[in-house]
Amino acid sequence: MSGFDDRKKGQEAKFAFDAETRFKAEARRNKLLGIWAAELLGLTGDEAKSYAAEVVAADFEEAGDEDVFRKIAGDLKAKSIVIGDDVIRQKMAQLTAVANEQVRAEG
């Protein structure tokens, strides 16, 4: 049974590591997305950093990416910045890849 228990512990550790890595990558993607949107909104410096933090926090409203998408789309619309939903979703996908690479590179 020792071999089975060792394998089970190894699988549990890998699952936990993968979940943590996914969480870090999603948070990084949201931060990068917030910085991108902040530029579109004309925010710079501390305002841009604060806005990016708001985008990261928006992801905790519900499971999935829709809460983040609604935050970005709503804020852009409120400032009369016309950007298609498809552009925002494409940017999210692009930044997901960037964030995954960055998190993997950090180890």
Better-predicted residue by pLDDT, 11 or 3: 11
pLDDT of 12 strictly over 90: no
State the helix-helix crossing angle for 66-78 and 2-41, rounded to 10 degrees. 10
Which DSSP string do the residues of 73-106 spell out, in sequence order?
A: HHHHHHTT----HHHHHHHHHHHHHHHHHHHHHH
Which CATH fold would you assign to the domain 2-106?
Major Prion Protein (1.10.790)
Amino acid 15: pLDDT: 74
- pTM for the model: 0.85
Average pLDDT estimate for 20-38: 95
Asked if 96 contacts 28 with a C-beta cutoff of 8 angstroms, the reply is: no
| Every domain of the chain and the residues it spans | 2-106
